[in-house]
Structure 1
Amino acid sequence: MRQDLVGDEPAASRPPIVAAARTQRRPLFAVLAGLLILLGAAGGALVFLSTGSSVEAVAARVSVARGQVMTAEMFTTVQIAPDQQLSLMEASELPLLLGKRAAHDVAAGSLVSPEAGMEAMVPGSGRTVVGLSLPPGAEPAIPLLVGDRVRVILTEPAYACAAGETTESLDGSPATAGCTVNVVIPGTVVATARDEASGQVSVSVDVAAADAPRTAAAAALGRAALVLDSRDT
């Protein structure tokens, strides 16, 4: 005889009850995401503003030695953000440098300042440039630079005495022993080159026009030596 079930069904025959999934909010992650978005926007704005306010400045393409005549091939232009602490020359001012001599050494890749050029003419009024070819030992071991203050020492001034010239001692007073003292001629280096094979050094020295004849004569006879004076200004 079939008996109807009264009441609850057995647990095994009931479908499982699925609890509604609850969305868990994590406020910290939301805040961090917002901060990242703000930082990205701020960075983009900074890059845009810095690019928009940059200036085109002059930089040295190659090394430029003090005293060299400057040409357009020596320089290039770079984009740089303006800085009150930097002394720079804008690209529009580059023509002002061309044809001038470098007032100081300029390293390759460095910015060029407005004071980089000078108008000096060599030789100046009352001055003469004399070429000296010096054997090893007749010049300092320190490499000579354009602008160096030097003294040309005439090591055997007998030819000057024979020509009736008055020689001077090292302190500038008249010589008392005829041709046995050295003659000292101050000058400034305007160009220099070295022959690596022979060790011979060619130096062009700016001297007073009155000293040029005996300086050139001593150089031709191989009776001249060069000494370097202090580079402190």
Structure 2
Amino acid sequence: MSVTTGHTDSADTGRQNGRARPAPPGPSQVTQAPKLRRRPILVVASVAAVCLGALLGVWAWTSTSNTHQVVAVRATIARGETIDQADLMTVQVGVDPGLRTVAGEALPDLVGQRAAMDMAAGSLVTSESVTSSVIPPAGRSVVGVALPPSLMPGESLQPGDNVRIVSTPGAQGEVTDGPPVEVTATVVGLHPGAEQDKTVVSVLVPKDEAGELAARAATGRVVLVLDSRER
């Protein structure tokens, strides 16, 4: 008679279940996970990039929040000249509160006014830079004097210059008794003359002297003298 024991070998049990159990791995078969190597230079570079980005963001925010749109000069404007739209532009800048600039939206109000001083291209317009005074004002007149280069100073004339228009001898060189007649005036503009070699200098003179100056200028027997520019 055969005796069946209650103990069943594990290998036999595996075979009975239709599959074999894998043997437990030995010490030499255990695979270790690769160790991650930290590179300090990459960590430092990442931190620096984050800090730089934050600083740039703060700088950009500060720059935009502290700037204002103001009027600037696009093309140089000489003192006394009429201001045109093309002479001006608006820019975004950070300005000192002590500087009385003109807000960008006020640009149209400046057109047609006159420059109270020389304004260089790229400079900011201040409230002192322009004047609304009318040319000619009451009691004054503007006279145009056409002159060739030989009867004008070698220095380029500018609006606001103080000049004298002095009578010259006639074609035969006759000189009248007494000092030459001269009229003190202020330059308000320069324009090309009808004759190619002449420039029309518009000068501001007292109203009661305008007639005599116009008559003398029409004869061509006058010379223009530039006086001191010191103020």
Shorter-chain TM band: 0.7 to 0.9
Whether 1:225 aligns to 2:228 is no
Specify the code of the residue in structure 2 equivalent to 1:140: P
Whether 1:149 aligns to 2:144 is no
Give the TM-score of the pair, scaled to structure 1. 0.73
Contact 1:156 1:180 in 2 (8 A): no
**Which of 120, 123, 135 matches 2:133?**
120
Contact 1:62 1:74 in 2 (8 A): yes
Percent of counterpart pairs with the same letter? Answer: 37
Specify the code of the residue in structure 2 equivalent to 1:132: V
Structure 1: stretches of 5+ with no match in the other structure: 1-14, 158-176
**Which of 81, 94, 101 matches 1:81?**
94
Shift of 1:74: 2.9
Note the 1:184-203 alignment, pairs <5 A: 184-195=182-193, 198-203=196-201
The answer for the alignment partner of 1:36 in structure 2 is 49
Contact 1:156 1:179 in 2 (8 A): no
Q: 1:222 to 1:65 in 2, by over 3 A?
A: same
1:149-190, CA deviations, whole angstroms, 9 ceiling, x for partnerless residues? 001111249xxxxxxxxxxxxxxxxxxx96353122111011
Using the alignment, how far apart are the partners of 1:140 and 1:178 within structure 2?
A: 24
SS in 1 for 2:190: strand
Query: Once superposed, what is the RMSD of the aligned Cα atoms?
Result: 2.9
Q: 1:74 to 1:211 in 2, by over 3 A?
A: same
Using the alignment, how far apart are the partners of 1:34 and 1:125 within structure 2?
A: 72
Using the alignment, how far apart are the partners of 2:38 and 2:138 within structure 1?
A: 88
The answer for the alignment partner of 1:163 in structure 2 is none
Larger Rg: 2
Shift of 1:16: 11
The answer for the alignment partner of 1:134 in structure 2 is 147
Specify the code of the residue in structure 2 equivalent to 1:179: D
Whether 1:57 aligns to 2:55 is no
Contact 2:101 2:125 in 1 (8 A): yes
Contact 2:146 2:193 in 1 (8 A): no
The answer for the alignment partner of 1:3 in structure 2 is none
SS in 2 for 1:111: coil
Contact 2:69 2:90 in 1 (8 A): yes
Aligned length: 200
The answer for the alignment partner of 1:207 in structure 2 is 205
Structure 2: stretches of 5+ with no match in the other structure: 1-27
Contact 2:189 2:201 in 1 (8 A): yes
Give the TM-score of the pair, scaled to structure 2. 0.73
Contact 2:152 2:225 in 1 (8 A): yes
